[in-house]
Amino acid sequence: MLLALLMCYAGFTALCLSTDRHHGELLHSKPTPTRRQGLRVGGWLLLMVAIWPAVFAAGWSQGLVQWCAVLMLSALLLVLLLPYRPRLALILAGLGLLASPVAVFALF
């Protein structure tokens, strides 16, 4: 479940960074159209791929339910961090992507 959580949080952060407002707040620049499209595709890809660790860990019936719970938890965390600690939200997404390969080994 840790891997699914890390991937969902990074995916939501990428989708958040694809907007002009949040990209300007967090990175102090306006995203180029290529970067915006890359962040959108990457964000949706991370959210969709996060299904597989949840299903692998708990099977289809419980895995999909756990994936929905992880989606809600990661979105809630991002929504709560953005107004008060926007830089922390970005740092957590980066650390989550760095920790994802380690979380893969927790599946086995």
Q: What is the pLDDT of residues 80-107, one digit of tens each?
A: 999 999 999 999 999 999 998 888 887 7
Is the model's pLDDT at 66 over the cut of 90? yes
Phi, psi of 28 (to 5 degrees): 60, 40
Q: Poorest-confidence range of 42-46, 63-67, 71-75, 99-103? A: 99-103
Q: What is the pLDDT of residues 7-18, one digit of tens each?
A: 999 999 999 999
CB distance 32 to 10 below 8 Å? no
Q: Which residues contact 12 (CB under 8 A, 6 or more apart)?
A: 43, 47, 74, 75, 78
DSSP helix/strand/coil, 36: helix
Q: Which residues contact 95 (CB under 8 A, 6 or more apart)?
A: none
